[in-house]
A and B are shown apart, each in its own frame.
Chain A
Amino acid sequence: MSFTEQWVAFLTLVTKEIRRFVRIWPQTLLPPAITMSLYFVIFGNLVGSRIGDMGGFDYMQYIVPGLIMMSVIQNSYGNVVSSFFSTKFQHSIEEMMVSPMPAHVILTGYMVGGIARGLMVGGIVTVLSLFFTHLTLQHAWITLSVVVMTAALFSLGGFINAVFARNFDDISIIPNFVLTPLTYLGGVFYSLELLPDFWRTVTLANPIVYMVNAFRYGILGVSDVNVYTSLGTIALFVLGFYILALWLLRRGTGIRA
């Protein structure tokens, strides 16, 4: 395929993916908006007002970047894992497998679809948060880099999960038993400064800590970890996941008999 043809195929897949999650917006865009609004009301307004400041900001302001990042992570992952597994389940993946689309175009198409949903939900949650608190953007490029790379990373994670999944239970195990605990323990609701030394060290092994903190730095200008270490780590993980996913796709793991 020429570069132009690959570009057309890529845009076709991305458009298809975006059209899919927009068409089923009550399942994809509405729930995170409602869930995050409840977080803002309960943890921000009701509980947060009794907690006081954290990291030099009122509690509501402090948790907003983490909540935005949480919705980006969950939705970029959820988009690709459900979409790719559905195409496997319905065999419509064969439409792509018989076509001359190279594996990297298929993978990048799904990844960008996941990023698109992650960013769209992140945008909705950001707009909702403005009804509850005031936000300023301290470092726009860092904010953008972190959110895009994080969405890319979890899209690729969702893709790898879908490759190995054999039934619908398999696509909910990782989000429920791995992603959710890591996100809640990833410094979304608290500063690592509050933890005893031992648990602080343990927490630093959680990759989501780096994403949440780098994003918080972009918006509020404060972070519990070095931002450039975070950016580098996320970039390395994106590269590693991309190579792994591409290898699996080229081999036909979970797709071709």
Chain B
Amino acid sequence: MSALTIRNLTKTYGNGVQALKGIDLTVEKGEFFALLGPNGAGKSTTIGIVSSLVNKSGGEVEIFGHSLDRERALAKKKIGVVPQEFNFNQFEKVYDIVVTQAGFYGIPIAEARRQAEKYLRQLGLWEKRQSAARMLSGGMKRRLMIARALVHEPELLILDEPTAGVDIELRRSMWDFLIGLNEQGRTIILTTHYLEEAESLCRRIAIIDHGVIVENTDMRSLLEKLQVETFVLDLQRPLQSAPELCGFHVRLRDAATLEVDVPKTESLNRLFGALAEQDIQVLSMRNKANRLEELFVRLVERNADLAGKEAAS
């Protein structure tokens, strides 16, 4: 059974903006799924509709086979949502926020307290349970929203930019936490601006742009579409001009740094061989951009061109 099925979903806002133009999307049970797209692409609208925060204009949404129109309560019980913005009462205590949320799902108070303790401990917030939410740091507030979303043990967890503004160490620990949840069988849908995050965590990915899904596949297949990867090489000795390397496009970034486009058909061994032939010693090497980022930019640019041509015709 699919965790989430979206069919021909459309949304036109009151000001006439068509945010979603009939998207179809299926997320299988147990998947770790990334929904990517530039700002204004329709990610948050999609998540808003799935979590009942936005009214759809048309189409259908099913969560674990329960229609959001016909079996709303059953569908909602299956989802936990971590929104992008902090959306709790800043004056309430951390513990009360989580216990109250459990109550909204009909969980009796004793069990609600147990659940709140479980997730506040797991997310490192137990010591802060009596603090007002406004006293927490940004990272803690984000973890509080995750604890609140998990308190009713949802089978599908939706996170909208969960690590925005979170420092690297905390981001890594949140990744580990989310991987653990996914390994326990929870389906996770993630939107993020950190493409490295999507590449590290998610096995499947959809890219949305201008209200349409432009790509929906598994991560490996998607990355295979990347025809050229650009590497930055730090050189031992400075160069006057970019060397000619057969089969590679090379640019001199500065005297001691080269940028090399490596086609998918070429090996890095051949690149290093060609460099060694010209007595160019490489000290270190890195990707110019995250692989997924390069692909994402190309897909979105292509879609923007298509949208431009459509508008012109």
Q: Mark A1-37, 1 if CB is under 8 A from B, else 0.
A: 1101110110111011001000000000000000000
Which residues of B lie under 8 Å from residue A99 when comparing CB positions?
76, 101, 104-105
Closest to B152 in A: A99
Establish whether residues B106 and A96, one from each chain, have CB atoms under 8 Å apart when the complex forms.
no
Closest to B87 in A: A91
Which residues of A lie under 8 Å from residue B87 when comparing CB positions?
90-92, 94-95
Which residues of chain B (105-120) have a CB below 8 Å from chain A?
A: 105-109
B186 to chain A minimum Cβ distance, whole angstroms, is 16
Q: Which listed residue (B54, B100, B106) contacts A100, Cβ 8 A?
A: B106
In the complex, whether A202 has a CB less than 8 A from a CB of chain B is no
Residues of B near any A CB (own CB < 8 A): 13-14, 48, 51-55, 72-74, 76-77, 79, 81, 83, 85-90, 96, 100-101, 103-109, 148
Establish whether residues A1 and B73, one from each chain, have CB atoms under 8 Å apart when the complex forms.
yes
Dominant SS at the A interface? helix
Which residues of A lie under 8 Å from residue B54 when comparing CB positions?
256-257
Which residues of B lie under 8 Å from residue A86 when comparing CB positions?
89
Q: Contacts A94-B83, A95-B148, A102-B73: A12 and B100 contacting too (C-beta < 8 A)?
A: yes
In the complex, whether A97 has a CB less than 8 A from a CB of chain B is yes
A117 to chain B minimum Cβ distance, whole angstroms, is 17
A90 to chain B minimum Cβ distance, whole angstroms, is 6
Establish whether residues A95 and B104, one from each chain, have CB atoms under 8 Å apart when the complex forms.
yes
Residues of A near any B CB (own CB < 8 A): 1-2, 4-6, 8-9, 11-13, 15-16, 19, 86-87, 90-92, 94-102, 252, 256-257
Closest to A86 in B: B89
Q: How far is the CA of A99 from the CA of B109 in the complex (A)?
A: 16
Which residues of A lie under 8 Å from residue B109 when comparing CB positions?
8
Other A-B contacts than A1-B106, A100-B105, 8 sampled, CB-CB below 8 A, are A1-B73, A16-B100, A86-B89, A91-B86, A98-B79, A102-B73, A257-B14, A257-B53
Establish whether residues B13 and A87, one from each chain, have CB atoms under 8 Å apart when the complex forms.
no
Q: Contacts A98-B53, A252-B55: A11 and B103 contacting too (C-beta < 8 A)?
A: yes
Q: Contacts A1-B73, A256-B53: A95 and B100 contacting too (C-beta < 8 A)?
A: yes
Establish whether residues B106 and A6, one from each chain, have CB atoms under 8 Å apart when the complex forms.
yes
Q: How far is the CA of A1 from the CA of B73 in the complex (A)?
A: 6
Which residues of A lie under 8 Å from residue B148 when comparing CB positions?
95
Establish whether residues B107 and A98, one from each chain, have CB atoms under 8 Å apart when the complex forms.
no
Q: Which listed residue (A94, A101, A102) contacts B53, Cβ 8 A?
A: A94
Pick from A1, A4, A92, A99 the residue with the most CB of B within 10 Å: A99
B46 to chain A minimum Cβ distance, whole angstroms, is 13
Q: How far is the CA of A256 from the CA of B57 in the complex (A)?
A: 12
- What are 30 residue pairs bridging A and B, where the CB atoms are less than 8 Å apart in the complex? A1-B106, A4-B106, A5-B105, A5-B106, A8-B106, A9-B103, A12-B103, A13-B104, A16-B96, A87-B89, A90-B87, A92-B89, A95-B87, A95-B104, A96-B104, A97-B52, A97-B53, A98-B51, A98-B52, A99-B76, A99-B104, A99-B105, A100-B73, A100-B74, A100-B77, A101-B104, A252-B55, A256-B55, A257-B48, A257-B55
Which residues of B lie under 8 Å from residue A102 when comparing CB positions?
73
Q: How far is the CA of A47 from the CA of B224 in the complex (A)?
A: 89
Which residues of A lie under 8 Å from residue B48 when comparing CB positions?
257
Q: Which listed residue (B13, B52, B81, B89) contacts A90, Cβ 8 A?
A: B89
Q: Which listed residue (A2, A97, A252) contacts B106, Cβ 8 A?
A: A2
Closest to B90 in A: A90
A256 to chain B minimum Cβ distance, whole angstroms, is 5
